Amino acid sequence: MGGKDAGATDGTRGRDPAAAVRAIVAAAGDHVAPLLARVEERLTAVAGAHGPPLDLHAGDTIAAGGKRLRPLLVLLAAGARPADEARLVRAAVAVELVHSATLVHDDVLDEAPLRRGRPTVVATAGPDMATATGDLLFSRAFAELAVPGGLAEGVRALSAASSALARGELLQREDAWAAQVTVDRYLERCELKTACLFKAACELGALEAGGGHGDALGAFGRRVGLAFQILDDVLDVAGPAQRTGKHRGTDLLDGTVTLPLILARERDTAVAAIDLRSVRTAQQAEAVCDAVIASGALGEARERALGMVAQAKAGLPGLPVAQHRALELVADSVVERYS
């Protein structure tokens, strides 16, 4: 469940993600597509404003981005009549910049060669450049929120999420190869590594709409984020590789203990007996994946994620029909990638 994996899936997994985004945008109303285009433009501009060589790496990172699920949540949470479109676009950009910064730093720590099929910054330019690129993207995220009339609550929401990301990254590394990771501990990690930023995205959008429904929309984002991460972890076990663009069991090879494995250990003493450090080759990882699947754990993990998506949708506040529908479609799209 690395940020790595969460990120990797944005663009490469599932049915046609672009089609899912188009459907969401169509449901939300005519105003969303131009806003998304402005987000994209501004991301490119922000990444290119620092002189070489940072522009190159920040630009590549941004260009390699997935389907911009987090900025989309910001826009959708703001509804059809945001107070200030330019400010809304910048809030959406800020969330994506924090996400990108985290991916770049995760890749440094993982010494990851590829992300979304492209060479990572750390692979291309080394850890110094990658660390600085991540720091720069972080800094720029907060600059995006620093506009006249910008709201302190927005900065607070984003910094809470980015603190959580740092803590989640640590938790993941602390728990690496640990046999006794509990479901609660796993969920805490998902909360920090994924759900908090989804939540912040929705809160930022709600703020730009005037602050109504901030808590309810934040809760929606959080649940969608949790489901997103759980299903991502399911997919790492379920494959197949031609769908995910990578081998099954990469989490196992990283020592990342995810929900399917935790549940399989409860169900099957043979899985529980596996020493994760002995899983070193892609073949061995695939064999463990097969054992996890045979235990029936994937179904249980999926059920939990589906329950979270159902809760997310049920907890949506009273919103205009189009906005409500679009947010429901976002929640569904998280599931559809994996069905």
Contact between 149 and a second copy per CB under 8 A = yes
First to last CA, the chain: 18
Please, are residues 197 and 225 in contact by the beta-carbon 8 Å criterion? Answer: yes
Q: Say which residue the tokens 């944005």 belong to.
A: 10
What x-and-dash track marks residues 65-104 binding a second copy by CB under 8 A? -------------------------------------x--
Residues between 206 and 225 that touch a second copy (CB under 8 A): none
Contact between 153 and a second copy per CB under 8 A = yes
Contact between 167 and a second copy per CB under 8 A = yes
Pairing mode of beta strands 114-115, 118-119: antiparallel
Among 213, 194, 193, 191, which Cα is nearest to 76's?
A: 213
Q: Which stretch binds a second copy (CB under 8 A): 19-27, 141-149, 227-235, 276-284?
A: 141-149
Pick the binder of a second copy from 47, 129, 298, 331 (CB under 8 A): 129
DSSP 158-226: HHHHHHHHHHHHHHHHHTTT-TT--HHHHHHHHIIIIIHHHHHHHHHHHHHTTSTTHHHHHHHHHHHHH
Q: Which stretch binds a second copy (CB under 8 A): 22-30, 170-178, 215-223, 289-297?
A: 170-178
Contact between 48 and a second copy per CB under 8 A = no
Pick the binder of a second copy from 65, 72, 138, 259 (CB under 8 A): 138
Q: Using CA atoms, how far apart are residues 53 and 324, in angstroms rounded to an integer?
A: 43
Among 253, 247, 261, which Cα is nearest to 292's?
A: 261
Total number of residues that touch a second copy (CB under 8 A): 45
Contact between 50 and a second copy per CB under 8 A = yes
Q: Which stretch binds a second copy (CB under 8 A): 138-146, 203-211, 254-262, 286-294?
A: 138-146
Pick the binder of a second copy from 16, 30, 41, 135 (CB under 8 A): 135
Please, are residues 78 and 206 in contact by the beta-carbon 8 Å criterion? Answer: yes
Q: Using CA atoms, how far apart are residues 250 and 321, in angstroms rounded to an integer?
A: 41
20/91 with CB nearer a second copy: 91
Contact between 150 and a second copy per CB under 8 A = yes
Distance (Å) of CA 224 to CA 106, 196, 313: 22, 10, 9
Please, are residues 103 and 11 in contact by the beta-carbon 8 Å criterion? Answer: no
5/332 with CB nearer a second copy: 5
Contact between 124 and a second copy per CB under 8 A = no
Estimate the crossing angle of helix 32-47 against helix 85-110, to 10 degrees.
Answer: 50
Among 147, 33, 32, which Cα is nearest to 87's?
A: 147
Contact between 105 and a second copy per CB under 8 A = yes
Pick the binder of a second copy from 32, 35, 36, 54 (CB under 8 A): 54
Contact between 197 and a second copy per CB under 8 A = no
Please, are residues 138 and 101 in contact by the beta-carbon 8 Å criterion? Answer: yes
7/11 with CB nearer a second copy: 7
Contact between 30 and a second copy per CB under 8 A = no
Q: Using CA atoms, how far apart are residues 199 and 195, in angstroms rounded to an integer?
A: 6
Contact between 163 and a second copy per CB under 8 A = yes
Query: Which residues bind to a second copy, rule: CB under 8 A?
Result: 50-51, 53-54, 102, 105, 108-109, 127-129, 131-136, 138-140, 142-143, 145-150, 152-156, 158-160, 162-163, 165-167, 169-170, 173-174
